[in-house]
Amino acid sequence: MSSAHALSLPVIDFSQLNGSPQQRQAFLETLGKAAREVGFFYLTGHGISPQLLADVQRVSWQFFALPEDDKLSVKMAHSPHFRGYNRAGSEITRGQPDYREQFDIGAERDAVSDSAAPVWQRMQGPNQWPQALPALRTILTRWQQEMTQVALELLRAFAEALSLPRHAFDNLYGDYPNEHIKLIRYPGRQESESRQGVGAHKDSGFLTLLLQDEQGGLQVEVSPDNWVDAAPLPDSFVVNIGELLELATNGYLRATVHRVVSPQGERERLSVAFFLGAQLDAVVPVYQLPEKLAQLAQGPTSDPLNPLLREVGWNYLKGRLRSHPDVANRFYAEYLNNEKRP
């Protein structure tokens, strides 16, 4: 991997959205510029208490410190909904294993029992929670609720920055969105070992808000082969655009490629990601941007090996099947050979 250049991501103060009319307008202009030019930025002034952020990190470390048997009791391979624990090296990005230990949850819902329902409905369902750490469910559920409000407000600010109606994206988010939280621990790696904490990729939803600890490793490709470090900034989230916004704006906004380089030696890294997704049965339209913006939209980029689809449920499922082969083989085997559409 090429070495990253010095940090150059914008810092945006979310509290300005509720400031004076001048502050609000300045915020929207800054947001629009950051989204268009970089697709990544730091969000400060978000209103989530430092205590809750500390609690989320503390309980995440407690989970990863559990005995192996307790973690494996909730391993993702048990869940057709792609919820639960994975050992380092279990998830695949661009054909290579990611050396990160992780725990995934989504919106807590009943599984879909209708056998005639589209296959991507199987992703909806209950989470797995470790009995040995009941605080994990309590704290993460609260964090999910608060993060949803921040992320939705930010999504609506994006709509305003694009000169769209404030609630333009609300129907895509819907009543049953595919929200997703991932606790991630990156163990230290030796110089002779792969440093792929997570390989270069784009996120599939609307927005990702990432809570980092003090250990760096996240890198953003701001232009081809030009990587910058998203170094930790206390009490902030690193925010990035997902493919849904790229599709919805016909490529005016672009989901930015990013990766994580594993720490070396005895060091380790913790991050907690919140992904704001869309309702699984939604189909992403192209929104009519003002002419001056629409002229700059060049269409969404699409990897021939992992094409973008406007059908939200199938697009999400396609990504999960590629990333989690153990779950795919157990619960979705009939869709693996030809990636049959539901």
DSSP 25-36: HHHHHHHHHHHH
Q: Is the pTM above the cut of 0.85?
A: yes
Instruction: Specify if 4 maps to a domain.
Output: no
Overall average pLDDT of the 29-48 stretch: 94
Structural domain range at position 44: 11-335
Overall average pLDDT of the 127-147 stretch: 97
Overall average pLDDT of the 69-91 stretch: 94
Which amino acid does the sequence have at 77? A
**What is the number of structural domains in the chain?**
1
Instruction: Specify if 203 maps to a domain.
Output: yes
Instruction: Specify if 6 maps to a domain.
Output: no
Instruction: Specify if 221 maps to a domain.
Output: yes
Instruction: Specify if 281 maps to a domain.
Output: yes
* Contact between residue 268 and residue 260 where contact means Cβ atoms under 8 Å apart: no
Condensed to tens digits (0 to 9), the pLDDT of residues 200-238 reads: 888 888 999 999 999 999 999 988 888 999 999 999 999
* CATH number where 213 lies: 2.60.120.330
Specify the pLDDT at position 46: 97
Instruction: Specify if 231 maps to a domain.
Output: yes
Instruction: Specify if 139 maps to a domain.
Output: yes
Instruction: Specify if 341 maps to a domain.
Output: no
